[in-house]
Chain A
Amino acid sequence: MALLEIQNITRMFGGVCALNGVNFSVEQGKIHGLIGPNGAGKTTLLNILSGMTPPTSGNILFSGKNIHMLPACRVASLGMARTFQNIRLFPAMTCIENVIAGQHLIASRPLLPRLLQLPSAWRQDHEYEEDAMATLSRVGLENRAQVRAQSLSYGERRRLEIARALASRPRLLLLDEPVAGMRHGEVSQVAELVRILAGEGMTVFLIEHNMSFVMALCSRITVLNFGQVITTGSPDTVSRHPHVIEAYLGVDKSS
Chain B
Amino acid sequence: MDLHHIFTQFYAVYGSLINFIGINSLLAISLYVTLSAGQLSLGNAAFAGIGGYTAGILTMYLNVPYMVALCAATLMSGAVAVVLGFPVLRLRGVFLAIATLAFGEVVRILAINLQITGGAEGLTPIPNKTQAWMIFTALALVGYFMAVLRRSRIGWSFASIREDETAAKAMGINTTWYKTLAFTIGAMIAGLAGAMSAHLNYIITPGEFGFSAAVQLLIYNIVGGTRIWYGPVLGAALLTALPEILRGIGVSAGPVRMGVNGFILLMVILFLPNGLVSLFSRRKD
Chain B residues whose CB sits within 8 angstroms of the CB of A88 once the complex forms: 164, 166-167, 170
Chain A residues whose CB sits within 8 angstroms of the CB of B173 once the complex forms: 73, 104
Write out, one digit per residue, whether chain B residues 169-190 have a CB within 8 A of any chain A CB (1) or not (0): 1111111000000000000000
Residue pair B156, A109 in contact (C-beta under 8 Å):
yes
Could you tell me the distance in whole angstroms from the C-beta of A102 to the nearest C-beta in chain B? Answer: 6
User: In the assembly, what is the distance between CA of A175 and CA of B81, in Å?
Assistant: 38
Chain B residues whose CB sits within 8 angstroms of the CB of A72 once the complex forms: 169-170
User: In the assembly, what is the distance between CA of A206 and CA of B285, in Å?
Assistant: 35
The verdict on B272 contacting chain A, using a C-beta distance below 8 Å, is no
Chain B residues whose CB sits within 8 angstroms of the CB of A165 once the complex forms: 171
User: In the assembly, what is the distance between CA of A148 and CA of B281, in Å?
Assistant: 15
The verdict on A194 contacting chain B, using a C-beta distance below 8 Å, is no
Residue pair A91, B163 in contact (C-beta under 8 Å):
yes
Residue of A nearest to B163 (CB): A90
The verdict on A217 contacting chain B, using a C-beta distance below 8 Å, is no
Q: Which of the four size classes fits the interface of chain B?
A: 20 to 34
Known: A109-B152, A111-B152. A76 touches B170 (CB 8 A): yes
Known: A101-B156, A109-B153. A73 touches B167 (CB 8 A): no
The verdict on A84 contacting chain B, using a C-beta distance below 8 Å, is yes
Residue pair A100, B152 in contact (C-beta under 8 Å):
no
**What is the interface of chain B mostly: helix, strand, loop, or mixed?**
helix
User: In the assembly, what is the distance between CA of A71 and CA of B170, in Å?
Assistant: 10
The verdict on A93 contacting chain B, using a C-beta distance below 8 Å, is yes
Chain B residues whose CB sits within 8 angstroms of the CB of A89 once the complex forms: 163-164, 167
**Interface of chain A residues 69 through 117 with chain B (CB within 8 A):** 71-73, 76-77, 81-82, 84, 88-93, 100-102, 104-105, 107-111, 114-115
User: In the assembly, what is the distance between CA of A165 and CA of B170, in Å?
Assistant: 9
Chain A residues whose CB sits within 8 angstroms of the CB of B154 once the complex forms: 111
Residue pair B171, A81 in contact (C-beta under 8 Å):
yes
Residue of B nearest to A174 (CB): B170
User: In the assembly, what is the distance between CA of A20 and CA of B174, in Å?
Assistant: 30
Chain B residues whose CB sits within 8 angstroms of the CB of A76 once the complex forms: 169-172
User: In the assembly, what is the distance between CA of A90 and CA of B159, in Å?
Assistant: 9
Among A73, A82, A101, A105, point to the contact of B175 (Cβ < 8 A). Answer: A73
**Considering residues A50, A76, A100, A101, which has the most beta carbons from chain B within 10 angstroms of its beta carbon?**
A101
Chain A residues whose CB sits within 8 angstroms of the CB of B153 once the complex forms: 104, 107-111
Could you tell me the distance in whole angstroms from the C-beta of A61 to the nearest C-beta in chain B? Answer: 20
Could you tell me the distance in whole angstroms from the C-beta of B182 to the nearest C-beta in chain A? Answer: 14
Chain B residues whose CB sits within 8 angstroms of the CB of A82 once the complex forms: 170
Among A73, A91, A92, A93, point to the contact of B172 (Cβ < 8 A). Answer: A73
Write out, one digit per residue, whether chain A residues 143-175 have a CB within 8 A of any chain B CB (1) or not (0): 000001000000000000000110010000000
User: In the assembly, what is the distance between CA of A165 and CA of B167, in Å?
Assistant: 10
Could you tell me the distance in whole angstroms from the C-beta of A110 to the nearest C-beta in chain B? Answer: 7
Residue pair B171, A104 in contact (C-beta under 8 Å):
yes
Residue of A nearest to B175 (CB): A73
Residue pair B148, A102 in contact (C-beta under 8 Å):
no
Write out, one digit per residue, whether chain A residues 19-54 have a CB within 8 A of any chain B CB (1) or not (0): 000000000000000000000000000000010100
Chain A residues whose CB sits within 8 angstroms of the CB of B172 once the complex forms: 73, 76-77, 104-105, 168
Chain B residues whose CB sits within 8 angstroms of the CB of A102 once the complex forms: 171
User: In the assembly, what is the distance between CA of A37 and CA of B144, in Å?
Assistant: 54
Chain A residues whose CB sits within 8 angstroms of the CB of B149 once the complex forms: 111
The verdict on A192 contacting chain B, using a C-beta distance below 8 Å, is no
Could you tell me the distance in whole angstroms from the C-beta of A120 to the nearest C-beta in chain B? Answer: 13
Residue pair A104, B160 in contact (C-beta under 8 Å):
yes
User: In the assembly, what is the distance between CA of A73 and CA of B178, in Å?
Assistant: 12
User: In the assembly, what is the distance between CA of A120 and CA of B149, in Å?
Assistant: 16
Having A76-B169, A89-B164, A107-B153, one finds 18 other A-B pairs with CB under 8 Å, namely: A71-B174, A73-B173, A76-B170, A76-B171, A76-B172, A81-B171, A82-B170, A89-B163, A91-B163, A92-B163, A93-B159, A101-B160, A101-B163, A102-B171, A104-B171, A111-B148, A115-B145, A164-B171
A-B contact pairs, 22 of them (CB 8 A): A72-B169, A73-B169, A76-B169, A82-B170, A84-B166, A84-B167, A88-B164, A88-B167, A90-B160, A91-B163, A101-B163, A101-B171, A104-B153, A104-B156, A104-B157, A105-B171, A105-B172, A111-B148, A111-B154, A115-B145, A115-B148, A148-B285
